[in-house]
Structure 1
Amino acid sequence: MDTETSPFESSDMLAAFLLSTPLIPESWRLCSLANTAAASGNFLTEQIGDVVYLAFSGIQMAGGSGPSWGQLVPLVSVGDVTLFSSHPSKEGEDGVMVHAGMLNLFWSIFKQFQNQMMAIMGNPNTKSIIITGHSLGGAIASLCTIWLLSYLQSISSSMSVLCITYGSPLLGNESLSKAILKERWGGNFCHVVSKHDIMPRLLFAPIIPLTTQIYSLLQFWQFCMTSPHLGSFGAQISDQEKADIFTFVMAYLDNAASQDGERTLPVLFHPFGSYFFVSDEGAVCVDGTATVIKMMHLMLATSSPASCIKDHLKYGDYVNKLSQQSLNQRNSMQVNVPDSSYEAGLELALQSSGITSRDPAASPFRQCLSSARRKGRTPTLNAANLAVTLSKFVPYRAEIEWYKAWCDKSDDELGYYDSFKRRGSTTAKRDMKVNMNRHKLARFWNNVIEMLENNELPRDFNKRAKWVNASHSYQLLVEPLDIAEYYGKEKHKTNGHYLERGRDRRYKIFDRWWMEKEATMEETKERTKFAGLTQDSCFWAKVEEARDWLSRVRSERDVNKQVLLWQNIEKFEKYAVELIESKAVSEDVLAKNSSYSLWVEELREVRELNSKVRTFPNTFTRFLDGEVVP
């Protein structure tokens, strides 16, 4: 079946479909007008029906020069809009960062752009917005689109937004690429890249003026930034400098296209969104960071130093020719149609890349496209397979639920949490089984998150009630066991408390899923009996912190620190009482020997002792504190 469901048809046919719409010709027409506009840095706006186009010029004047152009700077917020805040980076991973020079260019037009956007969105006749730009204008268009998507998300708008860039340089680091995937915005970006254009590949090489080649590269950048006429593009660079630039970029592109384990240098800039590769022979649309980088590498390898700079100005020619050439390409395929739809799709994709099956470069192109096929072919099928896998994990969950019921009815009156926490080294078979099931379920849900973040699941997966409810139910049942394991092994003494140092990232993600669902839920009715599972999955971690505060308040001599500890204790006490009164906890919380019940009893004793101490004479108080009274 795999060989008959060809995503190569979709990559080639998606390109053909896009060319059959007015999006490409209209967006390029506006880019051309913006490039010839007298006022550098401005953008043009035009409304066609219910679609508004904004085009940014490729001629931009940069403030500053030199090594600063190679710097990455954080992209946190723009105006009042926070970007990517709902998806924090993994521990040890860089935050979202973008090219410093491009961000400066964005800031120079932001206010004007923001005002224009407010006017456009205030027009009831506007249904869609297309933001486009050529060269450095494409980078600004991408930043404007990121801001607009974030803003529309913050106001829950359904406005359609698409960014189409032409020959745009890379914009940001790997974290930016991942953040866009996590926000499900990959489909909002279409980057048109010609086969030989060096500009989109330029930032795979570092910009540090240490060698003659890099200095030439820096000159090239400065020329791109300051040339008043794109028609003279490349004229000020000698043939030798062009060759140096080409060789230098190819060396770093070779490194970027290698497998992660084979790279000798880090890759600072990463692509995001869909890439629409165009050549004299046709067009092919692909996505996925690894695939895009590999295609950039393979295509530039067939280029020459002169064509790699000249090609940056040929996008108008490609746009005018592609529709007719795409049709001719399909007609030529009718002469010898491969038996398999897989092979037919692959042949179309190869031809659109300017490669024939007899070309020596066909083999690496085939391998690259085959890799793309395996990685991202069927998000919907992946979700369906996950549902089947989830059903197979039901027995593991059922065994944990049975264990909880057994603990809650046990004569030791410890309850679910404390029974697992105190199981000790001589664990019973049922304890070992529950612990094993806990790890199996964790692996399953970690895999779900990884697939979602790799864009291998549908865009709305984390909003589907089935998966939101399943993840929340899992969290309420299993996270108390994770907390019990953490404190049972006394990890808090070396690592710190669970909430700050021990909580797994998956639970934080599930918290966000559930909060987003709760925001759309109607108000729930009051409970008439205790919940089957405590509705705060971190309740026991908070109990453990409260026990620590109570222990410390006994020995603390600093009055100010005592006050802070008592404030924390009383805040938790109030929270716990509210949970219990609303019956949002399981009955095991109130078990006679549970950690919470013991804490309540200890708190009562400390308060009674304090009240008695306050009635004693000052000298006797000093005696209680261990001082000798003369």
Structure 2
Amino acid sequence: MEREASMFEPSEMLSSFLASTPLLMESWRFSCQAAPGTTSFVADHIGDATSYVAFSGLGISPGIIGRSCGNLAPLETVSNGIFSGLRRDQADPPMVHAGFLHLFLSVYNDPNFQSQMMEIMNKSKCIVFTGHSVGGAIASLATLWLLSYLHTISSSPNKLSVLCITFGSPMLGTHSLCQSILQERWGGNFCHVVSQHDIVPTLFFAPSLPDSLPHLSDEYKVEVFKAVLVSLEKLSKGHQCESVYRPFGSYFFCSSMGAICVDNGTAIVKLLYLMLSKSSPASSFEDHSKYKDYIDKINWQFLERGNSLEENLSESSFEAGIMLALQSSGISSHEPNSGEAKECLKMAKKLGRTRNLNSANLAIGLSKINPLRAQIEWYKQLCEDSDDQLGYYDAFKLRGASRKDFKVNMNRIKLGQFWDSLIEKLETNQLPHDFNNREKWVNGSHFYKLLVEPLEIAEYYKTEMHLKKGHYLENGRERRFKIFDKWWNDKKGEPGRNTTTSTRSKFASATQDSCFWARVEEARDRLNKVRSEADLSRRCMLLDNIDNFDKYAMRIINEKEVSKDVLARNSSYSLFVREWRELKSQLQLLLPQYLS
């Protein structure tokens, strides 16, 4: 069975994990140490491997939540690029609560925070960011910053795990933020602990909040409570509501009866509504300070799990699990809304099984498209053995209207559609959290990229898209190939993985740089520009670029990292070599540095 690479799985697996480790207790302890009035953050090591960084709401004015309720800020624009690793493929940029972002940036810009984080990253294998209330929102931003930072730096041999555990944290941002987190596969790095009656995680569902939020009168608490409940009910039923805030990551709902964990956004909103509807305005605000009581009781759920299951032996194990989860949420099976809660939990539970089913179906789909890849490999071999000595890339680029060429082109398109559909499922949370770490898919996507991307490049230049959009590398490369680069590089950087390669005795079956032919096309274009360039400095810059490519190409050829079609007599690369030699002979009197 394939090794599970994901550290944190959704639903009851995450519940069991958190309840059986010191993570919750330690996170809460550090959150209390960073309480407002003490310090903006607390950082400490536990053992040799794990570090905790807890945030408080220090410096927060009494009304910052209320005044900033509708004040959103674009995450990347305001933060000067420190979240650049977070993908922004949606039409709308990721937006977050402006007040919380301001608080995080004030901590981030503190030299003490910077120095402590560098020390922690060098010494730790796992970092847990945590915080209560506003501190939890700051912890989420700190987690996003560190994940973005780790995403943008080169792969490190020491893989650093990052987890965020918040307690009663208000929601942080909009749907576009949630989608970006899903696309990066970072949802499993966030666990938001929410107590049964706590209104603070849902406060931003109220249309407006007063400046004096911590000192609300009883009458105003009732108004806020009702406004939140109305908006939550609308959203839970699929209707539009005034609030743009949405949940991301896993929500760990705890009650006096235990805890359940849900990672589906629709189910999270539904449970927030159902649990809050059982509360009163007073208890919904008081519950925000009772997390220690809930955490102390969580372990009892797992000790009593056997008795709960015995009571439901007449039902299927699935139904028994649903009843146990319902009990843990604090919603009695005899209450009027228990049926709605039960259906919500069924939907969330089935989604986890659906992910595994989708993964299995994709494996079947991969086996069905493998013949298409085999046909392209056969075509590649024909091109390499052909008397015209064009090679794989140029034969496809200069292809005519033969049935063979047409079929290969259709196979290229169908393979691209398969991999694009896989990526869409992955980024919409329809596949297991560790999917992109599994050997089968990392290797399969890499081999697909090496075989098919040269055809994509050939099609791009055959249709002269470079004249309309610019060269392939900057303007034409499909996003799927960039994603597969990241999967491959991440896998190579895993601890204990042998990254050394033995010297090849013969040429590779496929050129190991899938963008090699795009670099050839750019180099040939620069050769043409050099001949007509009158400005000496610009000509020297072009020559430097050409020379750098020539040295790179010679290196990977000497290391046999290319397919033998690269050296075909009439390939684009062989033409480049001849053109480059001719140009150097013409420039020997003017620019002798390029003659060696």
TM-score of the pair, normalised by structure 2: 0.80
Superposed, 1:206-221 pairs within 5 Å as: 214=208, 217-219=209-211
1:371 is aligned to 347
Superposed, 1:235-314 pairs within 5 Å as: 235-239=215-219, 241-254=220-233, 256-257=235-236, 263=240, 268-314=244-290
| CA shift for structure 1 position 166 | 1.7
Match of 2:514 among 537, 550, 555: 537
| Greater mean alpha carbon deviation, residues 106-115 or residues 433-442 | 106-115
Q: Match for 1:582: what amino acid?
A: E
Q: Secondary structure at the match of 2:166?
A: strand
Superposed, 1:491-570 pairs within 5 Å as: 491-518=465-492, 521-570=498-547
Say whether 1:61 aligns with 2:65.
no
Change (3 A) 1:139 1:156: farther
Say whether 1:223 aligns with 2:213.
yes
Match of 1:598 among 554, 570, 575: 575
Q: Secondary structure at the match of 1:165?
A: strand
Whole-Å Cα distance in 2 between the matches of residues 440 and 397 of structure 1?
10
* Alpha-carbon contact 2:11-2:349 (below 8 Å) kept: no
Q: Match for 1:287: what amino acid?
A: D
1:101 is aligned to 99
| CA shift for structure 1 position 128 | 6.9
Whole-Å Cα distance in 1 between the matches of residues 58 and 67 of structure 2?
21
| CA shift for structure 1 position 401 | 0.7
| Greater mean alpha carbon deviation, residues 108-117 or residues 522-531 | 108-117
| CA shift for structure 1 position 323 | 5.2
Whole-Å Cα distance in 1 between the matches of residues 319 and 433 of structure 2?
29
* Alpha-carbon contact 1:62-1:105 (below 8 Å) kept: no
Q: Secondary structure at the match of 2:131?
A: strand
Superposed, 1:475-486 pairs within 5 Å as: 475-486=449-460
1:445 is aligned to 419
1:6 is aligned to none
| CA shift for structure 1 position 168 | 0.9
Report sequence identity in percent: 51
Change (3 A) 1:527 1:63: farther
* Alpha-carbon contact 1:346-1:366 (below 8 Å) kept: yes
1:39 is aligned to 38
Say whether 1:430 aligns with 2:404.
yes
Match of 1:470 among 444, 449, 457: 444
* Alpha-carbon contact 1:138-1:165 (below 8 Å) kept: yes
* Alpha-carbon contact 1:404-1:416 (below 8 Å) kept: yes
Whole-Å Cα distance in 1 between the matches of residues 374 and 338 of structure 2?
53
Match of 1:141 among 112, 116, 139: 139
Q: Secondary structure at the match of 1:533?
A: coil
* Alpha-carbon contact 1:41-1:61 (below 8 Å) kept: no
Superposed, 1:181-192 pairs within 5 Å as: 186-192=187-193
1:573 is aligned to 550
Q: Secondary structure at the match of 1:355?
A: coil
* Alpha-carbon contact 2:471-2:522 (below 8 Å) kept: yes
1:621 is aligned to none
Superposed, 1:6-85 pairs within 5 Å as: 11=11, 15=15, 18-19=18-19, 23-24=23-24, 27-28=27-28, 31=31, 35=35, 39=38, 41=40, 43=42, 56-57=55-56, 61-62=60-61, 65=64, 70-74=71-75, 85=85
| CA shift for structure 1 position 335 | 4.5
| CA shift for structure 1 position 344 | 1.2
Change (3 A) 1:293 1:603: same
| CA shift for structure 1 position 417 | 1.4
Post-superposition CA distance 1:457-500 (Å, at most 9, x none): 55554444443332222111100111111111122222222111
Post-superposition CA distance 1:84-138 (Å, at most 9, x none): 73x643374625x543322333345555556666777899xx9876554321122
Question: Structure 2, unaligned stretches of length 5 or more?
Answer: 1-9, 592-596
Number of residue pairs the alignment of both structures matches: 573
Question: Structure 1, unaligned stretches of length 5 or more?
Answer: 1-9, 206-212, 225-234, 615-630
* Alpha-carbon contact 1:45-1:55 (below 8 Å) kept: no
TM-score of the pair, normalised by structure 1: 0.76
* Alpha-carbon contact 1:77-1:83 (below 8 Å) kept: no
1:166 is aligned to 167
Change (3 A) 1:447 1:258: farther
| Greater mean alpha carbon deviation, residues 513-522 or residues 364-373 | 513-522
Whole-Å Cα distance in 2 between the matches of residues 339 and 361 of structure 1?
21
| CA shift for structure 1 position 403 | 0.7
| Greater mean alpha carbon deviation, residues 403-412 or residues 324-333 | 324-333
1:229 is aligned to none
RMSD: 4.3
| CA shift for structure 1 position 402 | 0.7
Whole-Å Cα distance in 2 between the matches of residues 130 and 522 of structure 1?
29
2:594 is aligned to none
Match of 1:355 among 324, 331, 339: 331
Q: Match for 1:445: what amino acid?
A: W
Post-superposition CA distance 1:189-216 (Å, at most 9, x none): 33211233221112345xxxxxxx62xx
Q: Match for 1:190: what amino acid?
A: C
Q: Secondary structure at the match of 1:196?
A: coil
Post-superposition CA distance 1:348-380 (Å, at most 9, x none): 222323334454423432332233223333766
Whole-Å Cα distance in 1 between the matches of residues 564 and 361 of structure 2?
36
| CA shift for structure 1 position 544 | 2.0
| CA shift for structure 1 position 275 | 1.1
Whole-Å Cα distance in 2 between the matches of residues 177 and 300 of structure 1?
23
Q: Secondary structure at the match of 1:418?
A: helix
* Alpha-carbon contact 1:164-1:191 (below 8 Å) kept: yes
2:320 is aligned to 344
Whole-Å Cα distance in 2 between the matches of residues 119 and 492 of structure 1?
46
| CA shift for structure 1 position 55 | 5.2
Whole-Å Cα distance in 2 between the matches of residues 496 and 17 of structure 1?
50
Change (3 A) 1:575 1:121: closer
| CA shift for structure 1 position 277 | 1.1
Whole-Å Cα distance in 2 between the matches of residues 331 and 433 of structure 1?
62
* Alpha-carbon contact 1:589-1:596 (below 8 Å) kept: yes
Q: Secondary structure at the match of 1:190?
A: strand
